[in-house]
Amino acid sequence: MTPVIGTGPAVRPSGAERGVGGRALVRAPGPRLAEGIVTHAARRPVDVALAARQHEAYVAALRSAGWRVRAVAPADDHPDAVFVEDALVVCGGVAVIGRSGEERRRGEVAGAERAARELGLRIERIEAPGTLDGGDVLQAGDTVYVGRGTRTNEEGICQLARFVGGRRVVPVDITGCLHLKSAMTALPDGGLIGVPEMVDTSVLPCLRVPREPTGAQVVVLGPDHVLMAASAPRTAARLAADGLRVTSVDISEFEALDGCVTCLSVLVP
């Protein structure tokens, strides 16, 4: 893919991006992780023991950045449950419980909903015929970009729009990737980083495009701090040169299952 560098209009960072000290919901990988659904990656064996160690390092990075980690109840019958981001979207004081377009993943939401209730969040739900995965929802300032693809449909996006407190909701068609946040994520200043070939750029500001699409997603840990996968060293170097503090973690076993750094947590300011 041809790299293109550009900058979009600055937007006000969302709550999780303004600072640290919030809570991070995570769910440990279960014993059936290697059976996880693979849609775009070339399937290869997954080392479940290594994945467990990688997840522990990921959680340690969150704690080191000041986030208080809260474990979501295991869902060991669901191989993909470790990708807890897909189960719910947190916007302000509301937790929107998703309804995946992949029926095999719908049983993952119960534990995530319990964790959200314990945090005192108001619960809303995506109802049939709507579908929505949290991995398709990217909050950047007052705008909520929502990927429209195999896991999230138009009805799900319309329902989400009713729950996000009047923020602007922008549907984004995606192609060649599992979720919107497989293709683009937001930096602390609100700029977007991603691969334009995977998204409808007509509805987006310019993307700051990495030289390597794999692993180039970011989780914003603080005003100048991002978490990235170790598989994107060139992008990490570029962001560091731009003045960001970059923490890299190895998540190779989750990348083998179409996962990325955003999939493994839900940050709640």
Contact between 181 and 213 under an 8 Å Cβ cutoff? The reply is no
Is 179 annotated in the active site? yes
Cα separation values, 148 from 83, 130, 206, Å: 19, 12, 19
Is 263 annotated in the active site? yes
Catalytic residue among 55, 78, 177, 179: 179
Question: How far apart are alpha carbons 183 and 134 in whole angstroms?
Answer: 14
Contact between 174 and 149 under an 8 Å Cβ cutoff? The reply is yes
Question: Position 54: which residue type?
Answer: Q
Catalytic residue among 91, 177, 260, 263: 263
User: Which residues are known to be catalytic?
Assistant: 179, 263
